[in-house]
């Protein structure tokens, strides 16, 4: 495995490449062209400039997260075809610059959803948190206003102020969307895009839905082992793969994460991993916590051991972190706690691999 870090680019991220370079054991970043709206073709020059910037800081560009999928593709409108063509061209342009991995998601309207962006934990740090009771009480139309006013200048992914009007419109468009229709639209997308990914030698890695259940009545697909299995069989190609996000799948206690890693890893279908811990307080009520196993509901040793046992060679990143040491910035994406996470996960990996070698000698 290769330990990496997400970086939003010099214009959009307070964390610098220089800082990232100084995290021990980290070799590269996962980045994106944050300002290009979903559906547009990414220009080769922009991709090349991003890559050059990262390489001149002594790091490598290990993959793109995300090339977002336009809502028309998820909705299956007549416009979808045009946006799918653009997506394919973006893949070709990425391949021209040597990119080998693309992460994306297929969640309608919203990316990850939380009810609190800065919940204070016992140790005084703050974190992203989710409580289904809060969601249930929300009239989505009002929530847009609240999020806009109370988030201290930050918005959730999918809640960008310029999208608030559009969100209302989108929710209406999705009003008759069912899981089966969404599966069909996903299949259409994959049947077009995966052959191009094959030609380009780009591994596609879908991110699980976060949380892995329906929110605001919108269907969600990438939620469980069974659905991951259905997904990889839609197009049976090694290029049609997964991002295993332990914190997304892991908030449903029915998802046995080490088992999921072993199962799909041994099929060669895991191309990317987000490894973080979550504490489930009650069903559908959780906090994101420090990476170390004892703080959460996930056993990080078992998770890293599963990646080791399936000989996972792709990039791993710590995903989100808490805000600690008075750091301020993009919720979930500060420097300090994610850096601690990367170092802890590297420590587990070193211990697991050395124990394995020791055991093989005896």
Quick check: 255 and 220 in contact, CB under 8 A?
Answer: no
Determine which residue in the list 74, 274, 291, 322 makes contact with Mn ion, applying CB under 5 A. 274
357 backbone dihedrals φ, ψ, rounded to 5°: -65, -40
User: In angstroms, rounded to a whole number, what is the distance separating the alpha carbons of residues 345 and 351?
Assistant: 10
Number of residues that bind Mn ion (CB under 5 A): 3
User: In angstroms, rounded to a whole number, what is the distance separating the alpha carbons of residues 65 and 103?
Assistant: 5
Q: Which of 200, 320, 337, 344 is catalytic?
A: 320
274 has catalytic annotation = yes
User: According to the binding rule CB under 5 A, does residue 65 interact with Mn ion?
Assistant: no
Helix (H) or strand (E) holding 102: strand 101-104
* Chain residues that interact with ligand CS2, rule: CB under 6 A: 65-66, 103-105, 111-112, 157, 207, 210, 245, 274, 319-320, 332
356 has catalytic annotation = no
Residue 324: name the closest of 123, 154, 129, 24 by CA. Answer: 123
Q: Which of 174, 200, 207, 271 is catalytic?
A: 207
User: In angstroms, rounded to a whole number, what is the distance separating the alpha carbons of residues 198 and 188?
Assistant: 16
Q: Which does 287 bind (CB under 5 to 8 A by kind): Mn ion, ligand CS2, none?
A: none
Question: Toward ligand CS2, which CB reaches closer, 35 or 176?
Answer: 35
Please, what is the minimum distance in Å from the beta carbon of residue 213 to Mn ion? 16
Q: Which residue minimizes CB distance to ligand CS2?
A: 66
Q: Of the ranges 14-22, 226-234, 243-251, 289-297, which one interacts with Mn ion (CB under 5 A)?
A: 243-251
Please, what is the minimum distance in Å from the beta carbon of residue 318 to ligand CS2? 11
Burial of 352 per CB tally in 10 Å (0-12, 13-18, 19+): middle
User: In angstroms, rounded to a whole number, what is the distance separating the alpha carbons of residues 320 and 294?
Assistant: 17
Quick check: 329 and 126 in contact, CB under 8 A?
Answer: no
User: In angstroms, rounded to a whole number, what is the distance separating the alpha carbons of residues 246 and 255?
Assistant: 10
319 has catalytic annotation = yes
Q: Which of 210, 287, 319, 337 is catalytic?
A: 319
Determine which residue in the list 245, 251, 300, 324 makes contact with Mn ion, applying CB under 5 A. 245
Quick check: 130 and 266 in contact, CB under 8 A?
Answer: no
Please, what is the minimum distance in Å from the beta carbon of residue 328 to ligand CS2? 18
Question: Toward Mn ion, which CB reaches closer, 69 or 80?
Answer: 69
Question: Toward ligand CS2, which CB reaches closer, 245 or 298?
Answer: 245
Q: Which of 130, 333, 337, 344 is catalytic?
A: 333
207 has catalytic annotation = yes
Q: Which does 103 bind (CB under 5 to 8 A by kind): ligand CS2, Mn ion, none?
A: ligand CS2
Question: Toward ligand CS2, which CB reaches closer, 12 or 354?
Answer: 12
User: In angstroms, rounded to a whole number, what is the distance separating the alpha carbons of residues 45 and 200?
Assistant: 18
**What is the distance, to the nearest Å, from the Cα of residue 236 to the centroid of all Cα atoms in its chain?**
22
Q: Which does 74 bind (CB under 5 to 8 A by kind): ligand CS2, Mn ion, none?
A: none
Residue 85: name the closest of 196, 242, 170 by CA. Answer: 196
Question: Toward Mn ion, which CB reaches closer, 114 or 274?
Answer: 274
The site for Mn ion (CB under 5 A) is made up of: 245, 274, 319
* Residues recognised as catalytic: 207, 245, 274, 319-320, 333
């Amino acid at each position: 495995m290769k330990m990496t870090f997400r970086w939003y680019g010099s214009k959009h991220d307070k964390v610098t490449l220089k800082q990232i370079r100084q995290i021990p054991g980290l070799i590269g970043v996962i980045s994106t062209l944050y300002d290009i709206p979903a559906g547009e073709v990414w220009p080769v020059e922009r991709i090349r400039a991003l890559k050059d910037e990262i390489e001149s800081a002594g790091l490598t560009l290990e993959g793109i997260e995300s090339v977002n999928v336009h809502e028309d593709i998820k909705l299956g409108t007549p416009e979808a075809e045009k946006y799918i063509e653009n997506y394919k061209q973006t893949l070709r342009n990425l391949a021209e610059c040597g990119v080998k991995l693309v992460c994306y998601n297929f969640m309608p309207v919203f990316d990850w959803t939380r009810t609190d962006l800065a919940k204070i934990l016992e140790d005084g740090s703050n974190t992203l948190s989710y409580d289904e009771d809060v969601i249930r009480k929300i009239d989505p139309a009002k929530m847009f206003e609240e999020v806009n006013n109370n988030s201290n200048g930050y918005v959730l992914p999918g809640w960008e102020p310029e999208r608030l009007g559009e969100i209302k419109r989108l929710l209406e468009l999705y009003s008759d969307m069912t899981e089966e229709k969404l599966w069909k639209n996903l299949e259409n997308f994959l049947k077009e895009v995966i052959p191009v990914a094959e030609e380009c030698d780009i591994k596609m890695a879908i991110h699980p839905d976060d949380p892995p259940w329906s929110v605001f009545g919108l269907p969600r697909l990438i939620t469980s082992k069974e659905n991951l299995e259905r997904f990889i069989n839609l197009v049976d190609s090694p290029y049609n793969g997964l991002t295993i996000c332990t914190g997304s799948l892991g908030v449903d206690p029915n998802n046995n994460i080490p088992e999921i890693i072993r199962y799909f890893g041994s099929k060669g279908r895991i191309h990317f991993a987000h490894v973080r811990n979550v504490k489930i307080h009650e069903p559908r009520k959780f906090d994101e916590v420090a990476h170390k196993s004892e703080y959460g509901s996930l056993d990080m040793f078992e998770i890293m051991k599963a990646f080791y046992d399936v000989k996972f060679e792709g990039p791993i990143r710590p995903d989100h972190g808490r805000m600690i040491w008075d750091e301020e910035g993009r919720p979930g994406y500060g420097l300090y706690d994610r850096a601690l996470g990367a170092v802890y996960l590297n420590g587990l990996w070193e211990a697991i691999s050395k124990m394995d070698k020791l055991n093989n000698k005896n």
